[in-house]
Amino acid sequence: MINLEIPKKFRPLTSQANQVATEVFRPISRKYDAEEHAYPKELDMLASLIDGMNEGSDMGGAGAAGVRREASDAEGENRNGSNLSTVLGIIELCWGDVGLLLSMPRQGLGNSAIASVATEEQLERYGGKWAAMAITEPEAGSDSASIRTTAELDGEEYVLNGEKIFVTSGDRADLIVVWATLDRSKGRAAIKSFIVERDNPGLKLDRLEHKLGIRASDTANFTLQDCRVPVEALLGSSDVEDRQGFGGAMQTFDNTRPLVAAMAVGVARASLEETRRLLSDAGVEVGYSTPALSQHAAAARFLEMEADYEAAWLLTLQAAWMADNGRPNSLQASMAKAKAGRTCVDVALGCVELCGSVGYGESELLEKWARDAKILDIFEGTQQIQLLIVARQLLGKSSSELR
């Protein structure tokens, strides 16, 4: 049976991550929210420290580096591995600041993509580099299968052409994992991902976005113009047949969606803890031995939001645990992302509402967390797309049967 509590062996990791969030992220949170596009130099030493912890442990350190699906050798074995440890670390760090987590060198979602499907040679070649992930296009947002960026084989190189938008950490990363199609007539079957060096002359930065939230993190738009990459840059095995391509690319999401869900869980917890403190200062105590409707209306509302948070937390841990134990978790990953993303937005805005003018002003971080929360319900697959994926799997429908 799965026991959805923090394993004892991971408690030092969560403690380390909480210290980072408390001592590093929280003190500079406002600074880099106000100074959008300024690089948080304070994170360089921290990233090096996390790299050291990752190298010295098979469970990872306190960062958000990519995770890799692992098979469980023994039937009935309960394995708590790198997926769960990474999720727990992310929750603590995003309790501090989600934008700063996304700004951490070598901790990008592209790293998760590489870790999920790269060959051993690619893992060695690109190890230690910061990777962003470029999927979204002006005419292909939630539907990843509609990607128009092309990849044509020319001798020993692929030539990429197209446009990518909303690339998190795209300007700062060393590598960009670009999704492209080998043949648009074959639809999703021909979609694969390619590793492009950030300094590739065919990869041109168009602009950096100004955003509502996660302002410490850069969000870039790119144009690929005859961007040449070696055949070895095809992510995964080079002999993968076309019909397997999209499935391999989408496998990435089964690992990364729980990570984004963890980000949402961390922001929601931060909002709840701060709101409980402010309510207590105002003389409103939240009780657990008294029916909610017998308490102050603010306390009853707080208990409702806290229950939603607990559900999101449990779903997120379940999706990560299943990956650690080699179990298919596509359904659970989407359920966790959908629940956590929506809960984070509802909780953050609800906390601002409960705290009134204090929650709306810059004297507290609540208003910032409310702005940061919305992106967690959007990127890595919107709320609506996650619910669509869940419905398809529960009803046994294909993408053409249920849109």
Percentage of residues of the chain with pLDDT beyond 70: 88
- In the prediction, which pLDDT does 134 show? 95
Q: What are the chain's domains? A: 8-122 (1.10.540.10), 130-241 (2.40.110.10), 246-395 (1.20.140.10)
Nearest Cα to 193, choosing from 254, 139, 141, 132?
132
DSSP-assigned states of every residue in 187-253: GGGGEEEEEEETT-TTEEEEEE---SS-TTS-EEEEEEEEEEEEGGGBSS-TT--GGGHHHHHHHHH
- Distance between alpha carbon 2 and the CA centroid of its chain, in Å? 23
Catalytic residue among 163, 364, 367, 380: 380
- Range 348-372 average pLDDT: 96
Return d(Cα 52, Cα 38) in angstroms, integer.
Answer: 26
pLDDT at 125 over 60: yes
pLDDT-wise least confident of 107-121, 211-225, 362-376: 107-121
Question: Which residue type sits at 372?
Answer: D
pLDDT, tens only, 80-96: 888 899 999 999 999 99
- Which three-class secondary structure string do you get for 235-283? CCCCCCCHHHHHHHHHHHHHHHHHHHHHHHHHHHHHHHHHHHHHHHHCC
What is the rounded average pLDDT of the residues 63-83?
Answer: 63
Check residue 168 and give its pLDDT: 94
The answer, yes or no, to whether residue 262 has pLDDT greater than 50, is yes
The pLDDT confidence band at residue 187, using thresholds 50, 70 and 90, is confident
Per-residue pLDDT at 239: 53
Which pair of tokens denotes residue 17?
């991550």
Helices (H), 97-202: 98-102, 109-117, 120-126
What's the whole-model pTM score? Answer: 0.92
* pLDDT classification of 355: cutoffs 50, 70, 90: very high
Token representation of residue 249: 């690319």
Average of per-residue pLDDT values in the chain: 89
Does the structure show a pLDDT above 80 at 304?
yes
Confidence of residue 337 (pLDDT cuts 50, 70, 90): very high
C-alpha 115/C-alpha 255 separation (Å) is 9
In this predicted model, which residue has the larger pLDDT, 58 or 158? 158
Q: How far apart are CA 96 and CA 89, in angstroms?
A: 11
Q: Is the pLDDT confidence value at 352 over 80?
A: yes
Tens-place pLDDT, residues 18-35? 999 999 999 999 999 999
Helix (H/G/I), strand (E/B), else coil: 83 = helix
Task: Name the H helices within 65-108.
Answer: 82-96, 98-102
Closest listed residue to residue 62, CA positions, set 116, 103, 28, 11: 11
Indicate if the pLDDT at residue 63 is higher than 50. Answer: no
In angstroms, the CA 71 to CA 83 distance is 12
Query: What would the pLDDT profile of 205-246 be if each residue is shown by its tens digit?
Result: 999 999 999 999 999 999 999 999 999 999 876 554 545 556
Alpha-carbon distance 133 to 194, whole Å?
10
Is the model more confident about 253 or about 51?
253
Per-residue model confidence (pLDDT) at position 69: 57
Q: Is 380 a catalytic residue?
A: yes
Are 220 and 208 contacting, i.e. CB atoms less than 8 angstroms apart?
Answer: yes
Q: What's the pLDDT band for 255 if we cut at 50, 70, 90?
A: confident
Determine the Cα–Cα distance for residues 286 and 276; give it in Å rounded to an integer: 8
Q: What is the mean pLDDT of residues 43-55?
A: 76
The secondary structure element, H or E, covering residue 43 is: helix 42-55
